[in-house]
Amino acid sequence: MSFQKKDVLIIEDSVATTILLSEFLKKLGYQNIHTCNTGKAAVQVFGDLVKANKMPIILLDYNLPDMNADVVMTQIFSIRPDTKIVIQTASEKGDESIKDVLRHGAYLYLEKPIRFENLKNTMKVLEEEDKILEDKPVDVQKQIDSHLKSSTRISLARISEYCNVKKEDALQYLHELESENKIVGLGDIKEISCNLCGSVKIGLSFHCPSCNRSNFKHGKLIEHFKCGNVSLENSYKDNICPKCHKEIQAIGVDYRAMENYYICIDCGEKFAEPSNDYLCMRCNNRFKIDQATWTTSEAFRAVNL
């Protein structure tokens, strides 16, 4: 079976650069080339291509008239999180904005002015990756089965992301399993998702509310009324205060105990609860609960799989 080159979507506001890229890509054998000069138009075109079962490689200029690459990427990844996006930028690689787009899921970046040899090598690598996937297809159904078996409840959104399959395709297979009484539907559930890339692969990160570091200990705190010392219980060896070296004797009279407290090793802050934020496992974005987006999808549980 001959290898079919993918479509290419060029998102670039410079007409001259767009023409040069298009002509060079045609020489490399890419015939289906789409161009846009704004982020808004690009997201629309990309969505239409995905609906037509096409998965284009994207060449994205970092600065566009209406939005930057980060914003465009967020909207594209919300449609297909496995999209390959190559950033074009005049910035040097040390630029924090470029580091951010790479952390947020860009495949790589090419410096402007773009050297055609670099672009050729990039497209070659992308082709080789696609050929490997074609030669060794992943058994998506086995992947879905595995996630169902290892979870007491898993959402369609997670199955789609974990198995890199479109929701409608995953849902079709899940309904087949449901009709065979191998799984049961549990209704819709709402899950936190990343406010940048839309991923539901989210973890909690805990830190000191004062210095935002994660180097803290958990335990019982003792406050010695006489000298004001507050430290972990194990610092009071033989009931001797580590600050004034006096013995503590009667609880409620010369000291008090505070259960389940935390103390930061770095800054010394004492707190009843650590602060937390959410961490996206896909793009490494950190955000607070009030910044989160929410994804609703049907949940399932295996019963005889």
CATH number reported for the structural domain that contains residue 112 in this entry: 3.40.50.2300
Q: Is residue 80 part of a domain?
A: yes
Return d(Cα 90, Cα 199) in angstroms, integer: 29
Encode pLDDT of 169-227 as tens digits: 999 999 999 999 999 999 999 999 999 888 898 877 788 899 988 777 778 889 999 99
Q: Give me the residues paired with residue 109 across strands.
A: 87
pLDDT value, residue 183: 96
User: Both 159 and 260 in a single domain?
Assistant: no
180, HSE (Cβ side, Cα atoms, 13 Å): 10
Range of the domain at 111: 8-135
User: Both 215 and 253 in a single domain?
Assistant: yes
Q: Is residue 1 part of a domain?
A: no
User: Both 154 and 297 in a single domain?
Assistant: yes
Q: How many independent structural domains does the chain possess? A: 3
pLDDT value, residue 1: 38
C-alpha 152: how far from chain center: 23
pLDDT value, residue 255: 92
Q: Is residue 157 part of a domain?
A: yes
CB contact at 8 A, 76 and 43: yes
User: CA 93 → CA 9, 90, 236, distances in Å?
Assistant: 23, 9, 52
User: Both 25 and 129 in a single domain?
Assistant: yes
User: Both 150 and 267 in a single domain?
Assistant: no
User: Both 287 and 165 in a single domain?
Assistant: yes
CATH number reported for the structural domain that contains residue 164 in this entry: 1.10.10
Return d(Cα 283, Cα 122) in angstroms, integer: 22
Domain boundary among 135, 151, 185: 135
User: Both 97 and 155 in a single domain?
Assistant: no
pLDDT value, residue 32: 95
Q: Is residue 248 part of a domain?
A: yes
Q: Is residue 32 part of a domain?
A: yes
Instruction: Say whether pTM exceeds 0.85.
Output: no
Domain boundary among 135, 154, 189: 135
User: Both 31 and 73 in a single domain?
Assistant: yes
Distant-in-sequence contacts of 138-146, Cβ < 8 A, 24+ apart:
138/164, 140/164, 140/165, 140/169, 140/170, 140/173, 141/173, 144/170, 144/173, 144/174, 145/305
Q: Is residue 3 part of a domain?
A: no
User: Both 116 and 178 in a single domain?
Assistant: no
Decide the pairing of beta strands 57-61 and 8-11: parallel
Segments of the chain with pLDDT less than 70: 1-3, 91-97, 132-138, 284
Return d(Cα 45, Cα 169) in angstroms, integer: 22
User: Both 93 and 14 in a single domain?
Assistant: yes
pLDDT value, residue 2: 45
User: Both 16 and 121 in a single domain?
Assistant: yes
Q: Is residue 38 part of a domain?
A: yes
Q: Is residue 2 part of a domain?
A: no
User: Both 92 and 131 in a single domain?
Assistant: yes
pLDDT value, residue 109: 84
